[in-house]
Structure 1
Amino acid sequence: MIELADVLEAQDRVRATSRHTPLEYSHTYSSMTDADVHLKLETFQRTGSFKIRGATNRVATLSEAEKDAGVVTASAGNHAQGVALAATRSGVDSTIVMPEYAPISKVKATRNYGAEVVLDGTDYNEAAQRAHELEETEDRTYVHAFDDEYVMAGQGTIGLEIIEDCPDVDTVVVPIGGGGLISGVAAAIKEKRPETRVIGVQAEGASSAATSLEKGERISLDGVDTIADGIATRSVGEKPFAHIQEYVDEVVTVSDSEIAVAIVYLLERSKTLVEGAGAVPLAALLFEHFDYEEGETIVPILSGGNVDLNTLTNIIVRGLVETGRYLKIRTVLKDRPGALEQLLEIFTEYQVNIYAIHHDRTSREVEMSDTEVEIELEMRGPDHVDAFLESLREEGYVVDILA
């Protein structure tokens, strides 16, 4: 078990490389929740994620022989960049194994930080198997993404910064993948301020820690499925699980839809780009997955901002759908002049903005005298969507909601 002293030592080691990131009060989320919400913006950290902290602390503790032999690790992206930069700054050769479907932006960034990147496996666990093979054959030191005391202590420096910047914090909300971040943060906070709650959050599609706590033992999932790729691990680490059992007050899960909504809110209201893993603490707060009191001071840790831009478009659309801002419908019209104009009169009445219309006379799903229409729409919220759809159906249109 790591202690406060380990985190304080880590703080001295990582100070020259990592940044003391901002802790900003959010009027928006405070108003939405009736709490006192402050965002810990690790999105502004070097490499765009908290991972540089733990990686720097681990590399700093290598012996000279270990530095000469180099390091190896596996990562979905953020830990990869942290290890690559920490190793390069220390003159240590690094090889990083990343899943074959890791975001392109994270693969390129890792290479730019000086590491050799090997793409292998469908997820973190398969990539880790390949990395351990390289550890054996090349005599490198394996820098674990989360199941390592030095890595955990390095991540715990976030907890020290939160207590320094917000001494009266009531609740800290932390994402959980393998558990290295929450282990270090919880150890630091609970020893500095025992009355502060630490809430862990996982994606529903990668809920190894939550499931392990329910069963009372560490379990491994058969697979993971979530937009939060940074926390998409099949199992929580052995060392982190012990810390979670000891220090963490509660672990909850959020859906991908809720994560998408949190990302959209952060982009639109906070002008902050956050990846799925970094958005889960805010999602848990906004959708009330844990109890809190009015006026309670809550700090969600936005752990990273390295979202793949190819994925971001889909996430934004999903978030807009969930908040009633985007609607895609299908209906059938008689294939005759004026039919579409008649439909659009309802659109005008409800001031619905049209993104696109696809008009298909050849669909086998409709009669030859009919035509199928798919329409993408900009809406103003759930109430607007409900009223608009009700009006369409009252006028006799059969409407299928596609998104």
Structure 2
Amino acid sequence: MPAEGSVAVVTEPIMPPSPAKEEPLFDPWCDPENPRTVTFQDVSAAAFKIKSGIMNTPCTRSHLSNVTDMEIFFKKEFNQCTGSFKERGARYTLLMLTPEQQKKGVIAASAGNHALALSYHGQDLGIPVTVVMPLVAPIMKVQACRQHGANVIVRGKDIGECREYALKVSKDQDLLYINGYDHPHIIAGQGTMGLEIVEQVPNIDAVVIPVGGGGLIAGVALAVKALYPHIKVIGVESERCASFSGAMKAGKPVYIRAESTLADGLAVPKVGVNAFATACHLVDKVVTVKEEWIAISILRLVEGEKAVVEGAGATALAAILAGELQELKGKRVVIPLCGGNIDTTVLGRCLERGLAADGRLVKFTVTVSDRPGGIAELTRLLANLGVSIKDMVHERAWIRSDIFSVEVKVLCETRDKEHSEELRNALLQRYKILRFGSQSPPGAMGQ
């Protein structure tokens, strides 16, 4: 009890101050609530500003025109200094910075072409560039960005984590964050390709454009439709990430789960809000293509056009080769080959997949006699058919047929699908147990 006349003091435990809630990271240039629509005047201004620093790439008639029954012209954007169309938007965005922001610099999240383009033109214009790249980014691209003077931060398992970190650094260091497909100046810059296309090729009926985040198709559609409203603008996506198709159906950008695809540059799970607002009423049609047709397109471009193009850049041609655009038969069509930054190891895999999808690279397993001359007879059969053997392995221990047999696995090259079918029929006539490609061997069910 307190003494008489004294005042009781009640002490309350001191609670630590509650931590201030961090504001969610936000890119003010790409506000879903207030999308910014790019205008034709923006594209025209971009064309004037970047013309001294960007290559006006050739747009030439393709050797594939006769095969496809269309008059195809390829806009060869892979000839840009860093190998893609991304330079157009990158340079224009850097040129539109205020003098104060040019001194501070910019930041972006990218695994490839956008990072390369910003790094190259940032060095050319004397603007500091920071790029955040995921752990899975190709080492060659990381090194190329560093060689162009960029501050490269490798962080995050995917581009989503890279973007979050880049926005945090942008806020902490007062750097401008540049979205690679949705910043309004990026879209305007990409649209300059459309101005070049209509100047280079007269009487165009359609332009077929690969679609990822939507920046390229938004800019090109805006430029082309403003000058020639009758020209059809058609978008093409990989079926493994059809985010623009999903947005068209929903009437707004929606999240679509992106799966692994040869067209990795198009694997954007949600199209840009500004890009969609600009493009949605200008795009006439969007189609999707399967992976095998992208691989075949890469192969056709290497063989027919002597052009090395990445999966994303070959996707528009894939739609035509797959027969998805029959309405363009007899028409004059322009396709941008928008990037050529493909790793050599990936290129090798793409070419092999293209040959396999084309019916020219064939594998089969056949059981032959293990007595002298058994395998020689098989190779003689292949030689007489004009089939080239790429690899051959024989197996004795793990087969269930008689002890005097051997299982032979063969990888070989044929002229075309008809030649492959001729090989298959010849093998079926001579051997009882055959597994051709992914087929099960006749009589082997239940073994």
TM over 0.5: yes
Partner SS, residue 2 of structure 1: coil
Select the residue among 268, 282, 287 that pairs with 2:303. Answer: 268
- Confirm or deny that 1:8 pairs with 2:70: no
Match of 2:292 in 1: 257
2-structure distance, mates of 1:128, 1:260: 29
Q: CA deviation at 1:293?
A: 4.1
2-structure distance, mates of 1:81, 1:199: 27
Select the residue among 52, 57, 61 that pairs with 1:25. Answer: 61
1-structure distance, mates of 2:134, 2:239: 21
Select the residue among 188, 194, 198 that pairs with 1:159. Answer: 194
Select the residue among 236, 254, 257 that pairs with 1:219. Answer: 254
- Confirm or deny that 1:56 pairs with 2:67: no
More helix by share: 1
Select the residue among 127, 137, 141 that pairs with 1:106. Answer: 141
Residues 214-272 of structure 1: CA deviation (Å, up to 9, x unaligned): 23332112333201111111111111112221111111111111011011111011111
Q: CA deviation at 1:16?
A: 1.5
Q: CA deviation at 1:300?
A: 0.6
Equivalent residue letter for 2:81: R
CA contact (8 A) 1:104 1:308 kept: no
Residues 175-229 of structure 1: CA deviation (Å, up to 9, x unaligned): 1111111110011111011111111111111111112212333211233320111
Match of 1:75 in 2: 110
* Change in 2 beyond 3 A, CA 1:307/1:366: farther
Equivalent residue letter for 1:81: L
CA contact (8 A) 1:125 1:233 kept: no
2-structure distance, mates of 1:3, 1:167: 23
CA contact (8 A) 2:261 2:291 kept: yes
* Mean CA deviation greater in 374-383 or 130-139: 130-139
Select the residue among 274, 277, 287 that pairs with 1:242. Answer: 277
- Confirm or deny that 1:305 pairs with 2:349: no
Q: CA deviation at 1:366?
A: 6.3
1-structure distance, mates of 2:404, 2:134: 51
Q: CA deviation at 1:330?
A: 1.8
Match of 1:200 in 2: 235
CA contact (8 A) 2:86 2:117 kept: yes
Select the residue among 345, 369, 374 that pairs with 2:380. Answer: 345
Equivalent residue letter for 2:411: E
In the alignment, structure 2 segments of 5+ residues that lack a partner are 1-36, 439-447
Select the residue among 296, 305, 314 that pairs with 2:349. Answer: 314
Match of 2:365 in 1: 330
Partner SS, residue 193 of structure 2: helix
Larger radius of gyration: 2
- Confirm or deny that 1:283 pairs with 2:318: yes
Equivalent residue letter for 1:112: Q
CA contact (8 A) 1:98 1:124 kept: yes
* Mean CA deviation greater in 228-237 or 314-323: 228-237
* Mean CA deviation greater in 384-393 or 211-220: 211-220
In the alignment, structure 1 segments of 5+ residues that lack a partner are none
Partner SS, residue 174 of structure 1: strand
CA contact (8 A) 1:156 1:188 kept: yes
Partner SS, residue 100 of structure 1: coil
Q: CA deviation at 1:372?
A: 2.4
1-structure distance, mates of 2:401, 2:143: 47
2-structure distance, mates of 1:367, 1:13: 76
2-structure distance, mates of 1:355, 1:269: 23
Question: 1:137-152, aligned counterparts within 5 Å?
Answer: 137-152=172-187
CA contact (8 A) 1:125 1:234 kept: no
CA contact (8 A) 2:64 2:304 kept: no
Q: CA deviation at 1:349?
A: 2.5
2-structure distance, mates of 1:52, 1:365: 60
TM-score by length of 2: 0.86
Equivalent residue letter for 1:65: E
Residues 37-91 of structure 1: CA deviation (Å, up to 9, x unaligned): 1111101112110000000010111112212221110112011111111211121
Q: CA deviation at 1:367?
A: 6.1
CA contact (8 A) 1:227 1:276 kept: yes
1-structure distance, mates of 2:90, 2:77: 15
Select the residue among 151, 154, 163 that pairs with 1:128. Answer: 163
TM-score by length of 1: 0.95
* Mean CA deviation greater in 329-338 or 164-173: 329-338
- Confirm or deny that 1:188 pairs with 2:223: yes
* Change in 2 beyond 3 A, CA 1:2/1:310: same
State the identity %.
Answer: 36
Q: CA deviation at 1:152?
A: 0.2
Partner SS, residue 312 of structure 1: helix
Partner SS, residue 165 of structure 2: helix
* Change in 2 beyond 3 A, CA 1:97/1:389: same
Equivalent residue letter for 2:56: H
2-structure distance, mates of 1:177, 1:110: 22
1-structure distance, mates of 2:70, 2:133: 39
2-structure distance, mates of 1:91, 1:113: 11
Match of 2:131 in 1: 96
Match of 2:435 in 1: 400
Residues 298-326 of structure 1: CA deviation (Å, up to 9, x unaligned): 00110011111110110000001111221
